[in-house]
Structure formats: C-alpha cells, structure tokens
Structure 1
Amino acid sequence: MSKKSWVILAFIFCGLIYFSYQTLRPVEIVDVHQDKHWTDIVVKNFPVTRWGKVQWWEDNQDFLKEKYGIPKPFSDGTFEITFWDIGSGYRVDRMVDQDSDLLCFKDMDVKANCIEKDRVFSVSMSKNLGLQYK
C-alpha cells in the first residue's frame, strides 16, 4: 500500500471513531424548566441525527414522566417540550446586544440563568397535527 492510501485509511478510521464517540455518549439532562404546559429541558450530548433524537425521546418518555412529570398537557391534550443544548453553560444577561440571543429562565434564583438559544429538538402534540418532532 502506498503512503497516500495509509493516510486516507487513517482519516477514515479517525472519522469512524469520532462518529462512534458522538453517537454513543449518554444524554445528560442538566435542568428542566416548566411554565404551565410548556417545558424546556437543558441537555448535554443530545443525539446528532434526527433518527437518534426521535429514538431517544421514544426510549425515555417513561423516565421523563416518572422523574419530572412531563409532559404536562393542557386539558385538550396538547403540549410542547423543547430541548436546548447547554453549550458553554448558564450566563448572565448583561442587557447588551451581544446577549440578545439568550434564553433566560425566570424560575432560577441566580443571576446566571440564561443559555444561548441552541434548540436541538422539540416534541409537540396538537389536536390538529398530532405528535410532531422538530
């Protein structure tokens, strides 16, 4: 085999290892914030692929119901759950333009109660459209 072939194989091997690492990391629920029937879940290591996200939701619905009591549907059965990536952690909203893309949680009694808006997945139920994954 030529040197060029070895380099290509090494890149492919490294790519496979990285992809495996990304897909096999366990999802960590950092926080759950609820406002009536809307739920925001802050996570680390959420699956990258759409299939992985839906599969994780289906595998963990009972756990989320038992531990956090979610979803909490309206009387008509509708609900919305949004999963947000924690990114670099919670930050303080300094009320400047650079912080305009922050999502702040009023249920936290600390100054650092905001995260960057990086939605990774959402699940909603509506009367007209049924269960939807976004």
Structure 2
Amino acid sequence: MFMIEFKDIGWWYWLVTASLLTFGVSGEPIGFMLAIGLTVFQLIHFVIRERSIKAFPIQVRFCYLILLIIALPEPLQLIYWVPTIGTWAQIIFGYCTMARCVSLLPWNRSEQFSLSLLKKTFFSRPVRGSVQQGFATIK
C-alpha cells in the first residue's frame, strides 16, 4: 500500500516540496515561494533528464508549477491545501492526482473521453512509474 521510494530522485523532490508546502500552509508563506523555486529546479532537471519537454513527467511538473503559481496571491493561498495534501498522497501512497489529470489531456490518451475513462483514471490503484503505463494494463 505504501510507495516510499527512497532511491528515486523524483520522490525526494516531492518530499521536500510537500514539506515546504506544509511549512507554507502552517503560516509561513515563504514556504510557498521555496516550493515554487524547487519545482522550477525540478522541472529543469527533468527536462534535461528526459530530453523532451513533451515527456509525461515534464507535463505533470509543469501543470503542478502552474497550480502553485496560480495559488500564490494571498487571497488564493487557501488553494495550497490541495497540492499539499496531494503531494503527501503521492510520496506516501504513490497516488498522483495531477498525473491522472494530465493523463486525460487529449494528446496523452488514445481512448475516447468517457465516464468509464474518468472512473478508471481516478479510482485505479497507484502504480510504480508512469500512471500511463499502469492504465495500459487495466481493461
């Protein structure tokens, strides 16, 4: 049930990001800025590693960064609870809501958009690696 992956650099990035967001939602807004900075660094690292800005891990990190930036203005900072809780779910259980949302974008799916696809996307068990690989095995 737990998917703690100490040997994966991505997991460590998410752990530090979740910690910074937790610091932010606990009343220290600098945590949000630090989380954004780390996410930018992580995005650059993964662009270099994947050698393509179209790679699925890059898309997930880019959308995550956009969410963090949208939530930055003080009146919207309540939104930070969503990525804080979601990132903790990712590092502890391997369930990444952002990856599941990104997998639904038209260029990331071969299946027609449907209620069945939504159900499969959001209620399937977490998998190691890309969520796209896990969906290929679910019928």
Both structures adopt the same fold (TM-score exceeding 0.5): no
Q: Give the TM bin, normalised by the shorter chain.
A: under 0.3
Structure 1 or 2: larger strand share? 1
Normalised TM-score (structure 1): 0.26
Which of 1 and 2 has higher RCO (CA within 8 Å, sep 6+)?
2
User: In terms of Rg, which structure is larger?
Assistant: 1
Normalised TM-score (structure 2): 0.26
